[in-house]
Structure 1
């Protein structure tokens, strides 16, 4: 199947090239003036006896070139142009003829500027003065290529390799602007140029990264941080720079408090949803709305290196402007803008070596495995019988066990024999996980970007290729992604600017399949990957165990080729009037998303007898093609009015309109009977079973919005937001709703009575907000009766007839879920803002949640209808503390910073259609995530102890329920001498009580950074302070043979199993099925085996070195940086005291790619809170470089 990828990759590259040509050539041609091609511009123009200055002005406008000249020089030329006409003529030819009769000459200066000047005779050169100087960075290193411009003269130069520059200027006083890529520009005023004299100025530029902390991206605009009244947080691109991550969700985890990103597993294709401030809705759910440059997009498809900043709007007041789409917060991703003043070319590369953070260690001795299997199986059957098979693939007997022991004692005996029946018999010691995984895999990341500006036009073009090889030893998964972005703008008129932002992304992923049991490879290894069976028979064929498990991968025929392609183009305009007090903006976006999955399943051959081939997967041998296409259109038009009404008052009003439409279409076709295993055409499947399916969906959201900001003397701040929203997902009488919000701030430190020195308390602001938003996240046609039309499974008259199922009952009065948030916050700056603190506390109430109604009698004849039946209350807080300072080290400044973040939340159901408060469903008063279970009182010590203890009538220790010493004893909480769960209600739970909660509490992050000379260092730790995890019934990597007696045996269990000689062991008497069977005693949530899954992880650490400018400029570069980055290199958890077989971040359900959770699925009891059967989380070390030209 991997051969298919080659063709798809070639097609993808061709598409990328076409996309690049279409969207990058126009802005690149406009900006070509930068590269010295400005004179090659061809235009049509005529002059009829015009003055020279008017002719030059017309020529400048027509050619779109930028001219620099002293108007007085041209005005002194009193002659006219005469009659001149040019057709498709070069600009330099036109200038030569236009200026031929004058003493004025022209030349090209830096960045394509054409300078007009009158040569000065040597006797008059002393009439002009010079402005000289040096441009350096904050460390004193020279900055070559910095732009120095005299504003009044439109005259400029660039600094040389030593950072020095020299400009001539007539006598006068000027403003000089000095700028450099990635540094804050500096404007120097009052610079005097004296006749025949030189003035020296030196400028040290500061890095521009800090400016992101002053201006924050908010809905439809930006605001100064000091003026924010809502709960908004932001990080810059630094957190994603030069990190070997496949997408930004992996890179953002933990950096922003209460932006909750939980990885589903370690597969590179995974893109977990972004949650803001915890549980949002138990009905339709609700994740953060993610906007890329103002338009909804998939964050996993964006190039991390294109990102300039990420803002998070947390409270209703901040997100209200986005209405129903932003009910539970908004994440705003802003991509990089073109470089100003100069062209920049940047290339970066890194190569990563990745390996699993946790590889399970199992018992790999065949005899020990068989002996413990025999014990576990026999004990579950009350020792009344012994096993005859190890599940499906290996026959078993007590004689076979004895032979295993003999061969274990004599390792020179063969591991495979053929018995008298002509069947293979195995005596192996196979580590199936080493057969499954390689020790490591590789990933590489290439990035290239071009950026520049010519004053009236600018452009940014970038591309990325990321390639991560798979971890499996055979038929491994393989991930590739391509990104291309072309972004440009053009100043058409002094008041009108047009922009275009196009991006294309393509992701391909091959996911191998395991057809033996139809489940994931991890579950199949647990069931059939028996230690005693080898991978291959002596004749090279697969063994029965291998064919069910890793051998399927080795055979290399089964898998899914996944291709995801997204093309998006946004065209926008912006205008300004009345000295920029009135601004109108608009944009239109088209986005097409295609997802193609090609799946092949064929039978896997194996041998149980020499020369006899059999097959696993008798229900397979099919080909399936699935296509899902979504077309998304979005239009925004809005205006801002920001009048100047005196120094004491500030007013800004924004109002606009938004329209979004999405259309989804899906098609699936499957046919069996492949005539050969490598078939790629479904016409080569000739079986009688053909299955087709599909889907179609469309929704529209439309709304008007506004925002009003008012400030008085920078002390009293008020913001009003609102949106009137309409959604096609609701019936006509409930389609529209209005969602307002208000927020206010008081900058106490600006009050006249505030006498505390700014060197101690630099800034103090308190904030508060209140607002409501609607959640329109429901299926598009919930309010309509929908008939399900399918083919019947029965054959009548030789065909399968169509059948139609009756629609579900519709609820009355279906309306919006409403999220109302109250927020209070404080921002504090101390010690000249070297120490800063920001904290927020909030209460969010989600009402009218869309859930299943009350349980109805069976005679009702249909499922209970869904409706607005439930309410939820979430409370929480978040805080961040930052310190930035410097000191001298070896007489050089050492800059360092520390940032600590922490957040917490809890959610409680306040209304639910469960008046009896049954424990198998949500109920009013329930804390979301709570775990009900028993209190473990240790193990039974003797028969007398069993007889004198409360009866465990519901929970079985074996097939017959017979209790023996070493079995688990539960505490009799209600004192009725019986261990049970009562009526399974809150008021009558029997002996159950709340023993824990799966909600991650006290999430935190620790960021460290430092730079000295040309060295830089950064590290980030992320963790969870409190979280409970009870291993699910299928958590074979935890329970081992307690799950099923033929499962793998975790090595940590050895020495931890109860026996008369080991009565204080952690685990009970050895038996199978007691964690898998719903009546088994380990299946029951209980205190003894409830795990503390809190953790701390070194998420990333990076060391970089920037080569000296004086060195890199010798080879034509502006900068070069070398770096080494580590990801997930270290972690600690209380769980690791017991076992390190499981990664503490990877405890969720099995294989979220091939087995995603069902929509609306839930587990209120947490009886299956995770099994860890997942693709491993990966750690990595990468090396790379970044070069700027």
Structure 2
């Protein structure tokens, strides 16, 4: 890690924060603060309302009413106060010269009047006919996390969030309404992110403290205006904006400790000695004395060493800290600003894993009678250290009686060749050094001009640049067998590498918007155009033969240097956007939209396509015949939509063949450098097309105290894009894996399911509560394959660590994408009759071996005998959020569960394969013939298939229920803060992921991955830790 560089960047950002704070404070030094007080009552019963939130609009500065409904707050003249309370309509009041306010809050009977973001605009919730979810910043700020996805999990039905890893800085995988493509391109199944109107070419990795609201477009009719980019759903992020008035400051901090609370049970030294020596003699009566002596020699340290590598690999309590500052203010002339800065630091629970991020965002806006101009500039810098991806598996392999590794030495004396090999692999994994720096700069400007009250024009322009620099050191290490003097070292495998990556994106759109009413008929129209350009380049330089681990760099290596190209692309997307909306008295809703899209990644004849959509809605509760039901059911709306959206999840230039140099040839006795086609292309690539039908129902009861939302959808994916590996005999390159792939339209797929959301808000005297539950079901099926019935990915779907690296997932007609296809186990050979029968299939079988089912009855075990065994895609997901407020106390609890899927337990597979798992003490033996655990043949007798990776022996139920978050907070009474000049102080304690209920025996049941074929594969994944923390928030 370039520590000096990182510290300098931190100082630069700190300097920027200091200057911004100084300038904004100076600009407002002459403004006058004053105290305003008042009382809030309810309209229905005219009783005081305790616990009402009173905030200055656009800021987090505020207070809450006391037991008598009274409040006081330091404000500036011209500030707008927002009064909000569960079950009541929010109310805004602009403070002028008055010193007291008496506020009456109405029952929240008009909850559907809430305005939410839609594609290229906004709309009242009551008028929306698609499936759109709205999330406020307070729902995100309840989590201590560096990743937005982690805070979203379980909060929106139909939005699946899975952590690919618990490593610091890791981003979760977000999918909306299931798998949308088979492509293994990174991020191919993730939704489109739109930040302040600007589409992003990847996850923007925003800090949660930068975000004001999130709106999620789930149905394709709502996404159609984004054309090809909206096939996976759209997440619209609005960052925080300013509010006129004197500078207001909010500061919050959090410090906590993370702890991994599960592990893989392995043997201690004495158990391992028994298993390795005594048990091996019993299993192998023909074993020679020399072989036994070798085992004894290898285990001479049995009674001296009892190493627990968890003490070396795992950090028991790893600190996490987060600090944020927000400054906001503005003038009466229409100018406002908002500045946000933050720091997040996390030390990993696994050695050599850390993450730090500094983020800064500044925004301003200007509004006059005709013009509205908003700007935003953001920068972030991240430093991340990753452990070796194979570290946990190598830890399992290391026997506890072996001498411990000395981190200050690069030589190790072993008792056997086998111990030497294991020590070598473990050392490389344990001291593997992988550091990454990622800098990101983004900005945008939006200009709106109102020609008339009904016609306006808006244009947005923005872009982002990301620079990534990654270094990796695989260290040099020597192991010597102290009995034979044989040396094991890795000079050829040791290396130092540097990877450089740069990506950039630019987006522009311009659109006219018109809205007019003709009596009871309301019509709005949008017409515009958009342009996006994305480019990127990367390469890796590597040199082998490290001679000095303490001085990483190309100068510390002596062998060959290789340069590996990564990606180098430029592609553009253009579109014509149109939307027409109509409603009659707000009862009958119609929306028609479309995008005529062009994409440069496609060949000449397939670059453009039109994607239309339509939706309708009926507010039944506005009908005259519904009046009698309104005292109980105050709102009822039916929605239906049909959407048609394209997809483009494949690598640029897949329509062009690859030409590579290096194919030299001889002519007339001389060698000439040449080039040749190294990979094939498909000039006939067509658009993936997603067609979705959605029907929804929205209900509200008892003045919106109880709300219910339901959606049912059916999505058909046609002409799916998929990279097929071509054999070398066809002329593909033997070097770059991507050169072996040709992208084809391979078939069709269906996602169908339903989503439910139920919410209840209540109040009894001084106790207020809010309960929200979500439930979603999605069924995925590949309905047609135009190539083979079974298609494997080029480099995914493998389970590692077994004697053979086995492919366990596939894409097959009639099954889920990435479904498990495995050999069915038929128990253990524990009788002579079973042995004789199974030896017809496998002549090498012995007593205690695992029997595999010959499903096709051909008398042999082949790939054709593999059977469908389940999927790593959950069939059901559920979330529950409970929040309570009593006087100055607040409490919140989040639960999340995923059900109906399977996990391949790779850690268990590795432990069994190496004879390390604690359960193997009870493995099959002549003295224990009815054990369900196959015999372990050990290092000396290979050839058994007992622990191969592609059997259902390692398949487990992946269902789980997790307590995601529980927080208890206390807000200090305002009366105790007057002298300190502080508006409010809140302190809290929090626990994240403290409880998980599951039958899965691996580290963690939340097993994800960027590729569909790697979902449900636990390859020794970095486990998710529990976090126990405390924090504060001050408002000035």
TM-score tier (shorter): 0.7 to 0.9
Partner of 1:994: 868
Call closer, same or farther: CA 1:178–1:1170 in 2, change over 3 Å.
closer
- Alpha carbons of structure 1 residues 188 and 326: separation in structure 2 relative to 1, 3 Å: closer
1:772-921 counterparts in 2 under 5 A?
772-790=644-662, 804-851=675-722, 865-888=742-765, 893-914=766-787
Aligned to 1:265: 165
1:221 CA displacement: 1.8
Match of 1:497 among 372, 389, 399: 372
Q: For residues 536 and 856 of structure 1, do their structure 2 counterparts lie closer, same or farther at Cα, with a shift above 3 Å needed?
A: closer
Which residues in structure 2 correspond to 1:591-610 (within 5 Å)? Answer: 591-604=464-477
1:397: which partner in 2? 294
Partner residue of 1:462 out of 340, 343, 346 = 340
Residue number among 4, 11, 14 corresponding to 1:13 in the alignment = 11
Specify the alignment match of 2:191 in structure 1: 288
Alignment of 1:697-846 (within 5 A): 697-790=569-662, 804-846=675-717
Does the C-alpha gap of structure 1 residues 259 and 400 become closer, same or farther in structure 2, counting only changes over 3 Å?
same
User: Match for residue 829 of structure 2?
Assistant: 940
Matched, 1:360 2:264: yes
Name the residue aligned to 2:977.
1112
Aligned to 2:805: none
Change (3 A) 1:362 1:243: same
Residue 1108 (structure 1) shift: 0.4
**2-structure distance, mates of 1:838, 1:680:** 57
TM-score, reference length from structure 1: 0.75
Structure 1 position 640, deviation (Å): 1.4
SS at match of 2:173: coil
Aligned to 1:962: 845
Are the aligned partners of 2:830 and 2:930 in contact in 1 as well (CA < 8 Å)?
no
Match of 1:240 in 2: 140
Asked if structure 2 preserves the Cα contact closer than 8 Å seen for 1:375 and 1:1070, the reply is no
Match of 1:122 in 2: none
Q: Distance in 1 between matches of 2:410 and 2:33?
A: 74
Tell me which of 71, 81, 104 is aligned to 1:179. Answer: 81
- Secondary structure of the 2:170 match is coil
SS at match of 1:256: coil
Distance 1:606 1:970 in 2: 39
Offset at residue 9 of structure 1 (A) = 2.6
How far has the Cα of 1:666 moved from its partner? 1.8
Q: What pairs up with 1:248-263 in 2 under 5 angstroms?
A: 248-263=148-163
Counterpart contact for 1:904–1:1002, Cα < 8 Å: yes
Shift of residue 398, structure 1, vs aligned partner: 4.8
Q: Does 1:953 align with 2:841?
A: yes
Whole-Å separation in 2 of the counterparts to 1:1098 and 1:666? 40
1:56 aligns to what? Answer: none
Q: 1:508 aligns with which of 383, 389, 408?
A: 383
Alpha-carbon offset, residue 938 of structure 1: 3.5
| 2:679–2:731 contact (8 Å) kept in structure 1 | no
Please give the residue correspondences for 1:118-197 in structure 2 after superposition, counting only pairs within 5 Å.
134-135=38-39, 139-140=49-50, 163=72, 179-180=81-82, 186=91
Deviations 1:372-398 (A, max 9, x none): 234787789x65446989xxxxx9625
**Contact in 2 for aligned 1:242/1:350 (Cα 8 Å):** no
Structure 2 counterpart of 1:51: none
Distance 1:856 1:146 in 2: 65
Alignment correspondent of 2:912:
1042
- Cα 1:1133–1:621 shift into 2, 3 Å: closer
CA distance in 2, matches of 1:683, 1:373: 44
Q: Tell whether 2:121 aligns with 1:221.
A: yes
Which residue does the alignment assign to 1:58?
none
How big is each residue's C-alpha offset from its partner over 1:916-965, in whole Å with a ceiling of 9 and x where there is no partner?
Answer: 66899634333334334455443334102433x465625xxxxx62232x
Task: Indicate which of 385, 391, 394 corresponds to 1:521.
Answer: 391
Return the offset for 1:844. Answer: 0.9
Greater fraction strand:
2
Q: Is the alpha carbon distance of 1:684 and 1:1041 closer, same or farther for their aligned partners in structure 2, counting shifts above 3 Å?
A: closer
Aligned to 2:934: 1068
The CA distance in 1 between the partners of 2:369 and 2:780, in whole Å, is 53
- Deviation at residue 542 of structure 1 after TM alignment: 4.4
2:12 is paired with a residue whose SS is: helix
Give the Cα–Cα distance (whole angstroms) in 2 for the partners of residues 187 and 248 of structure 1. Answer: 29
Separation in 1 of the partners of 2:160 and 2:531?
A: 29
Distance between the aligned counterparts of 2:757 and 2:307, measured in 1? 50
Number of positions where the alignment pairs a residue of Structure 1 with one of Structure 2: 980
The 8 Å contact of residues 179 and 341 in structure 1, kept in 2 or not, is answered as no
TM-superposed CA distance for 1:360, in Å, is 2.7
Per the alignment, residue 45 of structure 2 pairs with none
Paired position in structure 1 for 2:63: none
Q: 1:1029 aligns with which of 903, 928, 931?
A: 903
The residue number in structure 2 matching 1:54 is none
Decide whether the 8 Å contact of 1:870 with 1:911 is kept in 2: yes
Question: Is 2:56–2:79's contact at 8 Å kept on the other side of the alignment?
Answer: no
Distance 1:403 1:617 in 2: 26
How far does residue 733 in structure 1 lie from its aligned partner after superposition?
1.7
Partner residue, 2:1034: 1187
For 1:188 and 1:266, locate their aligned partners in 2 and report how far apart those are by CA, in whole Å: 45
1:796-838 deviations in Å (ceiling 9; x for gaps): 9xx9985634243333532211111111111111222111111
Structure 2 partner of 1:328: 232
1:358–1:1177 contact (8 Å) kept in structure 2: no
Q: Which stretch has the larger CA shift, 445-454 or 801-810?
A: 801-810
Q: TM-score with structure 2 length normalisation?
A: 0.85
Does the CA-based 8 Å contact 1:605-1:613 persist in structure 2?
Answer: no
Contact 1:775 1:818 in 2 (8 A): yes
Give the superposition deviation at 1:730.
0.9
- For 2:44, the equivalent position in structure 1 comes to none
Evaluate the alpha carbon distance shift between residue 705 and residue 378 of structure 1 in structure 2; reply closer, same or farther with a 3 A threshold. farther
Q: For residues 377 and 300 of structure 1, what CA distance do their matches in structure 2 show? A: 55
2:322 pairs with 1:445: yes
Shift of the 369–534 alpha-carbon distance from structure 1 to 2, 3 Å rule, reads same
Contact preservation (8 Å) 2:299, 2:401: no
Deviations 1:164-195 (A, max 9, x none): 99999xxxxxxx99625989874689x9x9xx
8 Å contact from structure 1 (residues 498, 574) kept in 2 = yes
Q: Which has the higher contact order (CA 8 A, sep 6+)?
A: 2
Q: 1:1072 to 1:1161 in 2, by over 3 A?
A: farther
Q: Which moved more, 1:867-876 or 1:783-792?
A: 783-792
3-state SS in 2 of match to 1:1181: strand
- Structure 2 matches for 1:400-479, cutoff 5 A? 400=297, 408=303, 415=304, 428-455=305-332, 456-472=334-350, 476-479=352-355
Inter-CA distance 687–275: structure 2 relative to 1 (3 Å threshold): same
Quote the offset at 1:288 in angstroms.
0.8
Give the number of the structure whose alpha-carbon radius of gyration is greater: 1
Deviation, 1:472, is 3.9
2:918 to 1051, 1060, 1076: 1051
Q: Does 1:628 align with 2:505?
A: no
Q: Distance in 2 between matches of 1:547 and 1:800?
A: 46
After superposition, the Cα gap between the structure-2 partners of 1:907 and 1:617, relative to the gap in structure 1 and judged at 3 Å, is same
Does the CA contact (< 8 Å) of 2:266 and 2:396 recur in 1? no
Contact 1:791 1:800 in 2 (8 A): no
Instruction: Report how far residue 660 of structure 1 moved.
Output: 0.7
Secondary structure of the residue aligned to 1:261 is strand
Pair 1:574-2:448 in alignment: yes
Which residue does the alignment assign to 1:124? none
8 Å contact kept, 2:785–2:812: yes
- Find the aligned partners of 2:791 and 2:227 in 1 and give their Cα distance: 35
Corresponding position of 1:486: 362
Aligned mates of 2:398, 2:290 — CA distance in 1: 15
Q: What are the ranges of 5 or more consecutive residues in structure 1 without an aligned counterpart?
A: 38-107, 112-131, 148-160, 169-175, 390-394, 409-414, 416-427, 514-518, 955-959, 985-989, 1150-1156
The 5-angstrom pairing of residues 1065-1104 of structure 1 reads 1065-1072=931-938, 1079-1080=945-946, 1083-1086=949-952, 1089-1104=954-969
